[in-house]
Amino acid sequence: MRIVLLGAPGSGKGTQSQRLVEQHGIPQVSTGDLLRAAVAKGTPLGLAAKEAMTAGRLVDDQIVLGMIRERLTDSDTAGGFILDGFPRNLAQAGALDALLRQIGQPLDAVVQMNVDYGELSRRIAGRRTCSDCGKVLNLLTAPRQLAESELCPKTGQPHRLFQRPDDNEATVAERLRVYEAQTRPLIDYYRAQGLLHTIEAEGDVEAVSERLEAALRGL
């Protein structure tokens, strides 16, 4: 199964990708995670990406496409993948089509995750990540006590939660603006290819997973 999860920041792409990884045993390919890892390591690529990420803008297409080309030729993606946060504009979508044609692995589906704007901001404000295992928790749905009592699989200690630096109010506003201007046009792009499925992604995580699985059934 080769799919793209499309949606605004905070629409639950990361959370639902992690669930699909568990259900289907195919890897999640998140350009945001790959970029954050490069920034943390201080690689030249990370240094080049950091300024745009901090400001909530898109990182240069060539950097992101280079990372994707490398990742999609790793052996673990041969049996399928979930693209999370990529493509983010029409140029990236065109380049992805060309790459997948080249390796003979076309997309099976693109799922657009619909969430109301007010809800997106609320979710992002509550989002926390464990600095040891990378698990993403939300204080809205998992109250702090519960989140902190769960043990981290890496350390065996409670998760050490931090807020992503680009989850602050000003950067979130810019990320949502960038989504509207550059990413939303992908909905029509994939609809025209007959690949688009749209699901309501508000409410309970479990219910959203069920809608997602229903959209993917039969692929």
Query: Which residues carry out catalysis?
Result: 13, 88, 127, 164, 175
Least Å distance, CB 187 to ligand AMP, is 16
Using CB under 6 A as the criterion, which residues of the chain lie in contact with ligand AMP when the complex forms? 9, 31-32, 35, 52-53, 56-59, 64, 85-86, 88, 92, 166, 175
Least Å distance, CB 130 to ligand AMP, is 15
Q: Compute, in degrees rounded to 10, the torsion defined by CA atoms 17, 30, 144, 132.
A: 120
Nearer to ligand AMP, 9 or 46 (CB): 9
Q: How far apart are CA 134 and CA 140, in angstroms?
A: 18
Are the C-beta atoms of residues 107 and 2 closer than 8 Å to each other?
Answer: yes
Q: How far apart are CA 193 and CA 127, in angstroms?
A: 34
Least Å distance, CB 192 to ligand AMP, is 20
Q: How far apart are CA 174 and CA 109, in angstroms?
A: 28
Q: How far apart are CA 81 and CA 72, in angstroms?
A: 8
By beta carbon distance, the residue nearest ligand AMP is 32
